[in-house]
Amino acid sequence: MALHQFLRACRRAVSLQLWCLLALHPFMARAETPIPKEIFPLADSDSEEEGRGYNWVSIHPDGNRWLLSECIGNQGARVCGLFLYDFNTSRYQRYALPPGYFYMHGRFSASGNVIVAERNPLPRDRTAAEKLRLLSETQIVRMNIDGTGFQIVPVPKGNLTYPVMSPDETKIAYWSATGAPTSSGIPHTQEVREFDLATNADRLFAGPFDFRLGGNLEYLSNDELAVQAFGTRGIPQKKGNGDSRYGMEVVQLRRDATVLPDPLLAQPFMYAAAMPDQRGQLHYVLQLNSREFAMVRKTAQGDTKVRKSPLLPQGGPAVLATPPDGRYAAFIYMSTQDLTAIRKTQLGFFCWCNGDWYSVRIPAAESAEMIWIH
């Protein structure tokens, strides 16, 4: 019996739940990757979960803890914070960060001991002008995983995003918008900058290259970054109306480089990408049609594995993360088309051990234990 069939049978046969628990342990002991008990076959969850406000996930080096950015409703407004989920203990905890801000794009350091994230002030109103003002007030923060050592990193305020810490934990790279943004807040161009925590020096990491719409960043070494972006040399694909769109690229940049190298990966239909893992493997999601996608793993030698998804409820994985060894992938995908205060998303889990896709169920954000900041 396949694992997804086993889980479905156990879930529906209440009278057999004790037997299932006893049988599942030796089954999982033989697996390459332990499957968390919080997961269910993805197709089983389509109509049962209304969705949450997840927008980012980072995986601890031990592979068992996920750092999540989740937005929840608070007296008619939206508040976004950082949460820690431990699959070993089933504990969902919320960092009691200083109030008055959205906290987004939390990332573990290479050791897993430090967290970096970005924050923006909460809006005073819902006008476009206020939205643009908030984008120019982004700050980068860091703290230890236990909540100690919280500090605002003295990076110059601006439209900053996707901070990531170098392997030796002495520097933080991030995207910085250059020039005025569009009316919707999207920057016209972006550059990768780097802040030195020892000297407080802030500088251009490489370039300038005038990237369009930067995405995930990942240090490959203390001197090299993998950069996800939509250009400057995006692959044009014609839409029905004759306009062009650009394909996603992953480029390897060395500090102080002035020539943009050929991309490690360039795909016009790539929906989300995770950076190279410790084995040099690239993980990404391709869109096959409106509701079908494929998880792809490409090795440093060029070998490729592809696993097709089941039909996803409303859209594909928009965020993708892997542990350092690349044995599985966590992803966030749209669960509804509800465009009210909180975007409805779900957590997903894909395991290369069996090629199956799962939905992840964790406790409600409102019930999370607090990790106090001090």
Q: How confident is the model at residue 76 (pLDDT cuts 50, 70, 90)?
A: low
Q: What is the token pair recorded at 25?
A: 């342990």
Helix 17-29 / helix 3-12 crossing angle, nearest 10 deg: 160
Domain ranges within the chain, ordered by starting residue? 1-30, 31-372
Q: Decide if 315 contacts 289 (C-beta within 8 A).
A: no
Q: How far apart are the C-alpha atoms of 152 and 139, rounded to whole Å?
A: 7
Q: What does the pLDDT average to over 140-167?
A: 96
Q: What does the pLDDT average to over 139-150?
A: 97
Across all residues in the chain, what is the average pLDDT? Answer: 81
Q: Give the pLDDT score at 128.
A: 76
Percent share of the chain, pLDDT over 70: 78
CA distances from 333 to 285, 289, 293, 313, 319 (A): 11, 15, 11, 9, 7
Q: Decide if 229 contacts 251 (C-beta within 8 A).
A: yes
pLDDT tens-digit profile of 185-221?
A: 677 789 999 999 999 999 999 999 988 888 899 999 9
- Burial per residue of 227-240, b for 16 or more beta-carbon CB atoms within 10 angstroms, e otherwise: bbbbbbbbbeeeee
Q: Give the pLDDT score at 32.
A: 46
Q: How confident is the model at residue 66 (pLDDT cuts 50, 70, 90)?
A: very high
Q: What does the pLDDT average to over 303-320?
A: 85
Q: How far apart are the C-alpha atoms of 302 and 281, rounded to whole Å?
A: 9
Sign, Cα dihedral of 143, 148, 153, 159: positive
Q: Give the pLDDT score at 372.
A: 96
Q: How confident is the model at residue 35 (pLDDT cuts 50, 70, 90)?
A: low
Residue 338 has pLDDT above 80, yes or no: no
Give the up-direction half-sphere exposure of residue 190: CA atoms within 13 A in the CB hemisphere: 28
Residue 31 has pLDDT above 60, yes or no: no
Q: Give the pLDDT score at 370.
A: 96
Q: What does the pLDDT average to over 356-361?
A: 90
Q: Specify the fold of 31-372.
A: Neuraminidase (2.120.10)
Q: What are phi and psi of 189, to 5 degrees?
A: -145, 160
What single letter denotes the amino acid at residue 64? N
Residue 11 has pLDDT above 60, yes or no: no
Residue 63 has pLDDT above 90, yes or no: yes
Closest CA to 326 of 88, 32, 86: 32
Which of left, alpha, beta for 302 (phi over 0: left; psi -120 to 50: alpha)? left
Q: What does the pLDDT average to over 108-112?
A: 97
Q: Give the pLDDT score at 27.
A: 32
Closest CA to 327 of 83, 61, 133, 74: 61
Q: What is the token pair recorded at 345?
A: 């998303």
Q: How far apart are the C-alpha atoms of 347 and 355, rounded to whole Å?
A: 17
Q: How far apart are the C-alpha atoms of 195 and 211, rounded to whole Å?
A: 19
Q: How confident is the model at residue 239 (pLDDT cuts 50, 70, 90)?
A: very low
* Other CB atoms within 10 Å distance of the CB of residue 19: 11
Q: What does the pLDDT average to over 73-98?
A: 87
Q: Which residue has the tokens 């969902």?
A: 92
Q: Give the pLDDT score at 168.
A: 97
Q: How far apart are the C-alpha atoms of 233 and 210, rounded to whole Å?
A: 10
Range in 7-16, 89-98, 179-188, 241-250 with the lowest mean pLDDT:
7-16
Range in 20-34, 82-96, 130-144 with the lowest mean pLDDT:
20-34
Q: How confident is the model at residue 344 (pLDDT cuts 50, 70, 90)?
A: confident
Q: Give the pLDDT score at 304.
A: 93
Residue 243 has pLDDT above 80, yes or no: no
Q: Which residue has the tokens 């995405």?
A: 215
Q: What does the pLDDT average to over 231-238?
A: 48
Residue 132 has pLDDT above 60, yes or no: yes
Residue 144 has pLDDT above 90, yes or no: yes
Residue 211 carries which DSSP code? B
Q: How confident is the model at residue 49 (pLDDT cuts 50, 70, 90)?
A: low
